[in-house]
Structure 1
């Protein structure tokens, strides 16, 4: 599969495209478009955000079978906790993931490159997978695996893929996530991951191969606190619907309602949440995307790390991004904070 960037390079245009300055507000709006990419039910384009290249790559529906790999040390050096490698950049988000993740320990070798799925976990909202890559070739400082996970029986999914991090000579680790959208939550998720290639995003050189992995995960259980508290301004209403607490994460379900007058004026309206607790600690909000039944009102979710045990409330400040494209008028609207008292169980 050709990368999206390579396809862009092959496009022909009769006009010379001139670079233009972009304001901070426009940059933020574009980041929100990528991070909070909307999905619609029934006709769901599956979209992915690649951290290394900010590229969107297509998903192929596949069924794959992995090969059991008896020991981590036989081909790839042991990394005691791949989650910890990515933890520092993510504000401690993955602190508890290693303890609760399931050992997969499966590998495939193709074209002299061994990819091994290390561990995976499904917190009931998002599947997170860590993996290792070993190759005699130097992959470069900005490389990534050019394929997302596929989960059966979903309306669609969104997710992220990290750049590969070098841990030794010709040995790398990576992490990939997907947030599936189900009509009904299953007892387990059936996951396939079929990497098409490894891409050096600096040179756009791809190394294709034939790797296949297949495994199942049970969702983590957690306590749910129903909320239904809202804030509104400028024709946009944000409602915090529920908070779910698991052993590794805190999942926020929230909705966005937009007046038709707003959608008539703005091409793109989307919401993000700034989150802190009553102790003053701020929480990185990892948006999981969302869906819409009518193209105007949306349901989103976002995931935080575990909340401080001493915290008694969370304060959500909705940030609304109104966007009409590059070079046009764009706005950011801050709503009044929503403070929610936490129910301890």
Structure 2
């Protein structure tokens, strides 16, 4: 039998592709990840150990030769790992995979497979990861027409779909129930009637019948009642409560505006900046509001995970007052307003920063 190195000497490797330099840090990352994936046995012959080392070495060389990024470990490749990690590069969904329930449900219709991988529920919002596989051309950003339903209140949803290669897509869908209370467990019914190449059944439409039913328990939560109010220049902001989960925290708040504000401005928009006593800033993952968009609004905003060493959260409400674009004038010279404000608009704008609200965590 030939020595393992003689076997590799007999292999022809065509390296016409452009080679990419790999740093020592990237090499260490690869070997660190590989070390976690090698299953060690009590008894292993010398030639098997040599083969393992040679395969690992050859695999690293092969990856560098064909331009694979060394930050894309196997767990980060969607169909070999988890979808939450794929979409966490922008700071969203960090540690969601560690707390999600694995479902692995599959439905196929009209030559299109939809498989649900994981789901996680924080008491307010349901997050679902799923994959689409097909030989049909669904375009760059297909749209799944049909929203998961649970509870007895209204729903709102958003979805992020990414094509990773021809005929293969991955997505995270977020579904909110529009009630003021949290749920401990939900029964989900998701019926998909079509997939289209554009939103709202526009573009090319592929009809089918994909139906999923599953139960999801909410993750453990710590609820903190806040009930603190701050006011300035006709805007009153109230932080109602905070719900802390293993991977995020949810701020429930409300605000009101005086008649003078609503009469003089087309739009009133409120965001909340959050920091802790350690200096960490927290990113808003999502948010929604209920009620009149200018007079009385109840809202929730989800932020990333609280630092376990923090003992205070510092909430700073930011009020944005703005007018819509002027698109013309009537015969009396009165401006005609659009129902939108463009990004580079020169219409009036004002920002108000309210006084901080301190929330004790410990």
- TM-score if structure 2 supplies the norm length? 0.66
CA distance in 1 between partners of 2:152 and 2:223 (Å): 24
Q: 1:282 to 1:137 in 2, by over 3 A?
A: same
Which residue of the partner structure matches residue 175 of structure 1?
172
Deviation at 1:189?
A: 1.6
CA distance in 1 between partners of 2:181 and 2:131 (Å): 33
Deviation at 1:201?
A: 3.6
Structure 1, unaligned stretches of length 5 or more?
1-76
- 2:85 alignment partner, SS class: helix
Please state if 1:222 is matched with 2:221.
Answer: yes
Structure 2, unaligned stretches of length 5 or more?
1-77, 327-336, 338-346
CA distance in 2 between partners of 1:291 and 1:180 (Å): 11
- 2:86 alignment partner, SS class: helix
Which residue of the partner structure matches residue 158 of structure 1?
156
Asked if the contact 1:148–1:176 (Cα under 8 Å) also holds between the matched residues in 2, the reply is no
Which residue of the partner structure matches residue 197 of structure 2?
200
- 2:192 alignment partner, SS class: coil
Q: 1:269 to 1:316 in 2, by over 3 A?
A: same
Q: 1:80 to 1:240 in 2, by over 3 A?
A: same
Which residue of the partner structure matches residue 81 of structure 1?
82
Q: Which has the larger radius of gyration?
A: 2
CA distance in 2 between partners of 1:259 and 1:302 (Å): 23
Deviation at 1:250?
A: 0.5
Asked if the contact 2:99–2:219 (Cα under 8 Å) also holds between the matched residues in 1, the reply is no
Q: How many residues in Structure 1 have an aligned counterpart in Structure 2?
A: 264
Alignment equivalent of 1:331, drawn from 317, 325, 349: 349
Asked if the contact 2:186–2:215 (Cα under 8 Å) also holds between the matched residues in 1, the reply is yes
Alignment equivalent of 2:188, drawn from 181, 188, 191: 191
Asked if the contact 2:224–2:242 (Cα under 8 Å) also holds between the matched residues in 1, the reply is yes
C-alpha RMSD of the superposition: 2.5
Asked if the contact 2:268–2:294 (Cα under 8 Å) also holds between the matched residues in 1, the reply is no
Mean Cα displacement is larger for which, 322-331 or 298-307? 322-331
Which residue of the partner structure matches residue 72 of structure 2?
none
Which residue of the partner structure matches residue 281 of structure 1?
280
Which residue of the partner structure matches residue 317 of structure 2?
318
Asked if the contact 1:179–1:288 (Cα under 8 Å) also holds between the matched residues in 2, the reply is no
CA distance in 1 between partners of 2:288 and 2:144 (Å): 21
Asked if the contact 1:317–1:334 (Cα under 8 Å) also holds between the matched residues in 2, the reply is no
Please state if 1:146 is matched with 2:151.
Answer: no
- 1:179 alignment partner, SS class: strand
CA distance in 1 between partners of 2:87 and 2:252 (Å): 25
Asked if the contact 1:166–1:173 (Cα under 8 Å) also holds between the matched residues in 2, the reply is yes
Deviation at 1:184?
A: 5.0
Asked if the contact 1:189–1:218 (Cα under 8 Å) also holds between the matched residues in 2, the reply is yes
Deviation at 1:293?
A: 7.9
Offset from partner CA, 1:214-236 (integer Å, 9 cap, x none):
22222223111222223322211
Structure number with the bigger relative contact order (C-alpha 8 A, sep ≥ 6) is 1
Q: 1:282 to 1:184 in 2, by over 3 A?
A: closer
Which residue of the partner structure matches residue 101 of structure 1?
100
